[in-house]
């Protein structure tokens, strides 16, 4: 790895140097060779045992400057002035083959100065979940951190029960979070906020440098990427589960795949996370929460926006107002694509809402409904119709959709093809993930994990060998709660 560690060169109080704590018996479970290639890692002559040693933290590669990043964050609405990487260690950064700077970070590699009462470790189950879901997200075309490696540690971690431990190696555009800004804002360290902004501009938003008000432009640009990201989640029925400000990456990537899940049957109020008792991060709350998180970021940037505080607040509020106004438009344009529509009509919003209401009432599977609508687009409406209890309602809606879609100049097959490119057939379904984890943790069987990785790598295809991954859970397979598993 040819490291170039820019974060380590930032002022001392941005991070804490720390070495990974070695584990007893590292065993390589998965390694993402494709990603390694993209990162330009030279792995010639490196065997699995060596990879396991490196990606468990037992061997620190030359050029790495391991550190834990400092950050704060609002957790479920409550501000915690010091969180930080409590079980993650940034090895360093590499410039990938596309010229992009990428972080390589171990998660579960032992305690740091920010561990508070935690053990700095991760259980194997959540490691596998993060691996599968982050890679699936990427395959769906949605910005996300990537998984480079998963290693079993050969040690047990104590949670509610004793569980096998694991380390996941995560690759990110960066690990800077809204909470990173909050850490310095809480300490009224404006110099640090400025340094962080300049670093973020350089690394993620170089285009704002030329703007008359670069820090305002930065806030706008971060807000825009966040909107885009949350809209993409909404389109595929993804529920992050813990949209705390420390889990919001400034780069606009999905990060921290904890108790996240893709919903099966459509329910706008769906919550999976066992720790989200109030439903703060329910599916339909996500856009509003994203805006709330951007408001917290805006507060941190106020001193940089204008010397006149009222003026600064006004500018920040304008960004938030823009967020509120832009999101529904973005959402509707995404939904139009899902319905195969390329033009705009004033009644489109109602058309979409009526379908969603129908889906909610019939408790149909979110992913399959849209996928079967693709079939209806090229002539086979039966599978779509067959999903609904309210058949008359479904027929009435189909007729309206046909009338609307057929006005457009597209051919049926082109429309169906465009729809299949945005409506996935395979998502990483919760009940399959649970099976994968159970097989790995209880029986040491990793075959289901590898099989699922293959299936979720091609989400927009319907391949006979992956049919079981496309199917909705049967009644007894349904998952109602997901656990953070930290």
Q: Which residues are annotated as catalytic?
A: 246
CB of 124 vs ligand AMP, minimal distance in Å: 13
Q: Does 85 bind ligand AMP (CB under 6 A)?
A: yes
At residue 169, the 3 state secondary structure works out as strand
Query: Are the C-beta atoms of 23 and 87 separated by less than 8 Å?
Result: no
Q: Which residue has the tokens 């813990």?
A: 242
Query: Are the C-beta atoms of 76 and 244 separated by less than 8 Å?
Result: yes
Report the partner that residue 119 touches, choosing among ligand AMP, Mg ion, none (CB closer than 5 to 8 A by kind): ligand AMP
- Selected from 69, 83, 290, 351, the binder of ligand AMP by CB under 6 A is 83
Taking the C-alpha atoms of residue 373 and residue 109, their distance in angstroms, rounded to an integer, is: 45
**Where in 253-272 is the site for Mg ion (CB under 5 A)?**
256
Closer residue to ligand AMP (CB): 114 or 327:
114
CB of 407 vs ligand AMP, minimal distance in Å: 47
Q: Which stretch binds Mg ion (CB under 5 A): 251-259, 298-306, 377-385, 420-428?
A: 251-259
Q: Does 247 bind Mg ion (CB under 5 A)?
A: yes
**The pairing of beta strand 162-172 with beta strand 122-123:** antiparallel
CB of 419 vs ligand AMP, minimal distance in Å: 35
Closer residue to ligand AMP (CB): 84 or 252:
84
**Could you tell me which residues are beta bridge partners of residue 172?**
103
Rg (CA), the chain: 23
Half-sphere exposure of 180 (CA within 13 A, CB side): 25
Q: Does 84 bind ligand AMP (CB under 6 A)?
A: yes
CB of 11 vs Mg ion, minimal distance in Å: 23
At residue 248, the 3 state secondary structure works out as coil
Closer residue to Mg ion (CB): 179 or 459:
179
Residue 434 CA to chain centroid, in angstroms? Answer: 19
Report the partner that residue 141 touches, choosing among Mg ion, ligand AMP, none (CB closer than 5 to 8 A by kind): none
Taking the C-alpha atoms of residue 5 and residue 64, their distance in angstroms, rounded to an integer, is: 8
Q: Does 105 bind Mg ion (CB under 5 A)?
A: no
Taking the C-alpha atoms of residue 164 and residue 188, their distance in angstroms, rounded to an integer, is: 42
Q: Does 85 bind Mg ion (CB under 5 A)?
A: no
Q: Does 273 bind Mg ion (CB under 5 A)?
A: no
Q: Does 86 bind ligand AMP (CB under 6 A)?
A: yes
- Selected from 35, 51, 69, 87, the binder of ligand AMP by CB under 6 A is 87
Taking the C-alpha atoms of residue 118 and residue 363, their distance in angstroms, rounded to an integer, is: 40
Report the partner that residue 417 touches, choosing among Mg ion, ligand AMP, none (CB closer than 5 to 8 A by kind): none
Taking the C-alpha atoms of residue 321 and residue 411, their distance in angstroms, rounded to an integer, is: 39
Taking the C-alpha atoms of residue 255 and residue 469, their distance in angstroms, rounded to an integer, is: 24
Q: Does 153 bind Mg ion (CB under 5 A)?
A: no
Closer residue to ligand AMP (CB): 85 or 253:
85
Query: Are the C-beta atoms of 91 and 154 separated by less than 8 Å?
Result: no
Closer residue to Mg ion (CB): 126 or 287:
126
Taking the C-alpha atoms of residue 220 and residue 157, their distance in angstroms, rounded to an integer, is: 42
Q: Which stretch binds ligand AMP (CB under 6 A): 26-34, 39-47, 85-93, 191-199?
A: 85-93
Q: Does 110 bind ligand AMP (CB under 6 A)?
A: no
Report the partner that residue 87 touches, choosing among Mg ion, ligand AMP, none (CB closer than 5 to 8 A by kind): ligand AMP
Closer residue to Mg ion (CB): 171 or 339:
171
- C-beta contacts of 352-358 below 8 A and 24+ residues apart: 354/397, 354/400, 355/397, 355/401, 356/266, 356/268, 358/388, 358/390, 358/393, 358/394, 358/397
Report the partner that residue 27 touches, choosing among Mg ion, ligand AMP, none (CB closer than 5 to 8 A by kind): none
DSSP 39: T
Residues 6 or more apart whose CB falls under 8 angstroms from that of 210 comprise none
CB of 184 vs ligand AMP, minimal distance in Å: 16
Q: Which stretch binds Mg ion (CB under 5 A): 64-72, 109-117, 243-251, 465-473?
A: 243-251
Fill in the per-residue mask, 239 to 258: x = in contact with ligand AMP (CB under 6 A), - = not in contact: ---x---xx--------x-x
Q: Does 471 bind ligand AMP (CB under 6 A)?
A: no
Query: Are the C-beta atoms of 259 and 273 separated by less than 8 Å?
Result: yes
CB of 69 vs ligand AMP, minimal distance in Å: 9
Query: Are the C-beta atoms of 384 and 419 separated by less than 8 Å?
Result: no
- Give the residues lining the site for Mg ion (CB under 5 A): 247, 256
**Chain contacts with ligand AMP (rule: CB under 6 A):** 83-87, 114-115, 118-121, 242, 246-247, 256, 258, 484, 486
């Amino acid at each position: 790895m040819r490291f170039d560690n820019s974060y380590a060169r930032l002022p001392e109080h941005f991070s804490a140097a720390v070495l990974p704590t070695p584990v007893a018996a590292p065993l390589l479970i998965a390694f993402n060779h494709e990603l390694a290639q993209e990162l330009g890692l030279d792995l010639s002559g490196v065997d699995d045992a060596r990879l396991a040693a490196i990606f468990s933290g037992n061997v620190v590669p030359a050029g790495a400057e391991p550190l834990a990043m400092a950050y704060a964050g609002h957790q479920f609405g409550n501000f915690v002035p010091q969180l930080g990487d409590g079980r993650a260690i940034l090895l360093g950064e590499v410039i990938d083959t596309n010229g992009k700077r990428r972080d390589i970070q171990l998660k579960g590699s032992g305690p740091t100065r920010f561990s508070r009462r935690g053990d700095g470790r991760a259980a194997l189950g959540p490691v596998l979940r993060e691996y599968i879901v982050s890679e699936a997200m990427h395959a769906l075309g949605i910005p996300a951190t990537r998984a480079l490696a998963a290693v079993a540690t050969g040690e047990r971690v104590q949670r509610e029960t004793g569980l096998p431990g694991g380390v996941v190696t995560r690759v990110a555009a960066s690990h800077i979070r809204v909470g990173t800004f909050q850490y310095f804002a809480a300490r009224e360290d404006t110099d640090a906020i400025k340094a962080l902004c300049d670093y973020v501009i350089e690394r993620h938003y170089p285009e704002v440098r030329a703007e008359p008000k670069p820090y305002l432009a930065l806030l706008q640009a971060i807000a825009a990427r966040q909107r885009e990201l949350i809209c993409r989640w909404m389109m595929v029925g993804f529920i992050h589960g813990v949209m705390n400000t420390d889990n919001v990456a400034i780069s606009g990537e999905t990060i921290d795949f904890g108790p996240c899940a893709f919903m099966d049957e459509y329910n706008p109020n769906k919550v999976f996370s066992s720790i989200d008792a109030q439903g703060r991060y329910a599916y339909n709350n996500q856009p509003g929460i994203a805006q709330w998180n951007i408001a917290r970021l805006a507060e941190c940037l106020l001193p940089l926006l204008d010397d006149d505080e009222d003026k600064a607040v006004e500018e920040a509020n304008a960004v938030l107002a823009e967020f509120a106004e832009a999101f529904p438009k973005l959402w509707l344009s995404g939904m139009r694509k899902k319905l195969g529509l390329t033009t705009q009509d004033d009644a489109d919003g109602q058309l979409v809402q009526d379908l969603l209401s129908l889906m909610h009432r019939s408790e149909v599977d979110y992913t399959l409904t849209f996928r079967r609508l693709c079939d209806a687009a090229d002539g086979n409406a039966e599978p779509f119709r067959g999903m609904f209890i309210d058949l008359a309602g479904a027929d009435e809606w189909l007729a309206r959709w046909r009338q609307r879609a057929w006005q457009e100049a597209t051919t049926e097959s082109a429309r169906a093809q465009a729809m299949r490119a945005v409506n996935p057939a395979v998502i990483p379904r919760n009940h399959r993930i649970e099976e994968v984890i159970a097989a790995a943790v209880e029986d040491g069987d990793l075959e289901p994990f590898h099989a699922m990785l293959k299936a979720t790598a091609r989400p927009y295809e319907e391949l006979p060998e992956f049919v079981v991954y496309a199917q909705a859970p049967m009644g007894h397979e349904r998952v109602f709660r997901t656990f953070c598993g930290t």
